[in-house]
Amino acid sequence: MVVGAGIVGLTAAVRLQQYGARVTVLTADPAPRLVSAVAAAVWYPTHTDADPRVLRWAAATLEEFSAQAAGGVPGVVLRRTRMLQRGPVAGLPWWAPAAGDVRALDASEPYTRELRFTVPLVEMVGYLDWLQQRIVAGGGRVVRRRVHSLDDLFAEAPVVVNATGLAAAALCGDRAMFPVRGHIVLVANPGLDESVRDEDDPAGITYVHPRSRDVVLGGTYEPGRADTLADPEARDGILRRCIALVPALAGAPILGERIGLRPARHGGPRVEAEAREGGLLVHAYGHGGAGMTLSWGCADEVCTLALTGRRKAPGQRADQK
């Protein structure tokens, strides 16, 4: 049983099914209300610390999405990206080996360097729907139901995957979890087909991601802020910065805006199994600003944990033998 129908839960459910498991996915919320539906969603390990596990998950995810883009999965494309950097830079970033071909070029003031690479972009609303359909077509179920105790679910299934995102803080008492509010603005696409990022803009993180019909303009990254109230000042700031970065956006009609809470976790995502009375609990949450970026790689790990029963004993870290 998988609790959570965001990008993390659904990709895990698909993989478990591929390995022969009978899967039921429970979700408290409809897909359009999830932070997974707000995500831009471009492969990039935003605010994620360098970590060999993360690098492995990111590389596996990029490979899977690239295959899906080549196979014509709706809403999955490869996007050429220009990433402008400020301040001192040395060598390629830690995530470059997972991204494949990352080239560094000189850049003019106020930038110090430009990185060029090509990575997957996923139109999440349709993609979440596609994943759900895949699960149902494979004999699984996706059920709207709020869970109050993960342990109670062992009466229904021997393995429970906890992919509840931010809600894991309360469901399993994880005090390392915290929300990071993010805000994006959607405008009509004036014909752009290249992503541009200026992560270090002193006025705020700035990115432009063209999709099939619109362009995602971002953004904000506000650790600890847990409300999703409208913020016209932040919206205007996003528009101002993105138009300065990509002047072709000036005058593009505004189609809407989205605000979501990234499920961040001190120490990085928790992907580990725990023996509980009654069954095996596999945790997969805390992906912060990189849930799409790490999704398929984490799903592989969830599968290994769920199907081999590899778990930590009480008081032992999952990576300890």
**Near ligand FAD by CB under 6 A, which window of 186-194, 222-230, 239-247, 259-267?**
259-267
Q: Is 312 helix (H, G, I), strand (E, B) or coil?
A: strand
9 binds ligand FAD (CB under 6 A): yes
**Near ligand FAD by CB under 6 A, which window of 2-10, 75-83, 242-250, 274-282?**
2-10
Q: How far apart are the C-alpha atoms of 197 and 226, rounded to whole Å?
A: 25
Minimum separation from the CB atom of position 251 to ligand FAD (A) = 23
Minimum separation from the CB atom of position 160 to ligand FAD (A) = 11
Minimum separation from the CB atom of position 109 to ligand FAD (A) = 28
Site for ligand FAD in 117-146 (CB under 6 A): 146
Task: Confirm if 27 and 1 have CB atoms less than 8 A apart.
Answer: no
Q: How far apart are the C-alpha atoms of 23 and 185, rounded to whole Å?
A: 36
List the one residue from 16, 38, 196, 302 that touches ligand FAD (CB under 6 A).
38
Q: Which is nearer to ligand FAD, 88 or 142 (CB)?
A: 142
**DSSP H or E run through 294:** helix 291-308
Minimum separation from the CB atom of position 123 to ligand FAD (A) = 11
Q: Which is nearer to ligand FAD, 85 or 164 (CB)?
A: 164
**Residue at 12: amino acid letter:** A
List the one residue from 14, 16, 36, 305 that touches ligand FAD (CB under 6 A).
36
7 binds ligand FAD (CB under 6 A): yes
Q: How far apart are the C-alpha atoms of 191 and 173, rounded to whole Å?
A: 47
Q: Which is nearer to ligand FAD, 147 or 280 (CB)?
A: 147
Q: How far apart are the C-alpha atoms of 246 and 97, rounded to whole Å?
A: 28
**DSSP H or E run through 177:** strand 177-188
* Cα→Cα distances 68→121, 215, 233, 311, Å: 11, 21, 38, 31
Task: Confirm if 124 and 36 have CB atoms less than 8 A apart.
Answer: yes
Site string for ligand FAD, 218-257 (x = CB under 6 A): -x--------------------------------------
Q: How far apart are the C-alpha atoms of 37 and 123, rounded to whole Å?
A: 8
Facing residues of 160 across strands? 281
Buried b (16+ CB within 10 A) or exposed e, 128-154: bbbbbebbeeeebebeeeebeebeebb
Size of site (CB under 6 A) for ligand FAD: 41
Residues that bind ligand FAD (CB under 6 A): 3-9, 26-29, 34-36, 38-42, 146-147, 163-167, 171, 182, 184, 219, 260, 262-263, 285, 287-293
